[in-house]
Chains A and B, each alone.
Chain A
Amino acid sequence: DQQVKQNSPSLSVQEGRISILNCDYTNSMFDYFLWYKKYPAEGPTFLISISSIKDKNEDGRFTVFLNKSAKHLSLHIVPSQPGDSAVYFCAAHPYGGSQGNLIFGKGTKLSVKP
């Protein structure tokens, strides 16, 4: 049973426009959420995170929004650039999990067209 769901396997956006990647979760005990970016043949790299006590976190062109009542988070990239083309993984950390185990979604492949 998937606890972290990314229902869109792919997304295509024009350069300069906004990219919105969505993630839903089922476990209300998740207390920390992260987005990772992955290029082919490379390991994932951390992008941005948000604690469950916040509803928004911004870092440059990247903003993550958390809606706890809907168990939904989204990553906004504005403006989108061709270099943003990658697979984006949403991940969640369970509350009280001291081992730091992250639960990942299946990923969304973003293509930003020039």
Chain B
Amino acid sequence: DVKVTQSSRYLVKRTGEKVFLECVQDMDHENMFWYRQDPGLGLRLIYFSYDVKMKEKGDIPEGYSVSREKKERFSLILESASTNQTSMYLCASSPLIGSNLNTEAFFGQGTRLTVV
């Protein structure tokens, strides 16, 4: 059974704090993703990584950075948290897709972050 685990279910942080959201997957997947979900906006991709130390910006990378030092772990960093970063953050992983293979991404349970 694929498991994607996010370190916290709920977090409350103050404006200006540096925030780390951790995600670990146990299926040796190459790809890992960070999304945020907001009402009426769906799932928006923040960053993704297709290999250790590799990262690519998604649709809304501003105010975020990421780290992938090990294959199983993908961290999302809010350098200086702001109230507009209050959201549900979702981590996902998937295997590398070959030309004849398609597969789904597996999601963690989400972290509800509130910035006050």
Residue of A43, A46, A96, A104 touching B104 (CB-CB under 8 A)? A46
A99-B56, A106-B42 given as contacts; is B112 within 8 A of A45 (CB)? no
A97-B97, A99-B56, A100-B94 given as contacts; is B48 within 8 A of A44 (CB)? no
B74 at the interface (CB under 8 A from A): no
Residue on B nearest A96 in the bound complex, by CB: B99
**Do B107 and A43 touch (CB < 8 A)?**
yes
B116 at the interface (CB under 8 A from A): no
A41-B112, A99-B56 given as contacts; is B42 within 8 A of A105 (CB)? yes
- Chain B contributes a number of interface residues (CB within 8 A of A) equal to 34
Number of chain A interface residues as a range: 20 to 34
- Most chain A CB within a 10 A radius of its CB, from B43, B45, B50, B110: B43
**Do B95 and A100 touch (CB < 8 A)?**
yes
> Contacts A44-B107, A99-B97 given; 8 further ones with Cβ under 8 A?
A43-B90, A43-B92, A43-B110, A45-B107, A100-B31, A101-B31, A103-B45, A106-B40
Could you list which residues of chain B lie within 8 angstroms of chain A, going by C-beta atoms? 4, 9, 31, 33, 35, 37, 40-45, 48, 50, 56, 58, 90, 92, 94-99, 102-110, 112
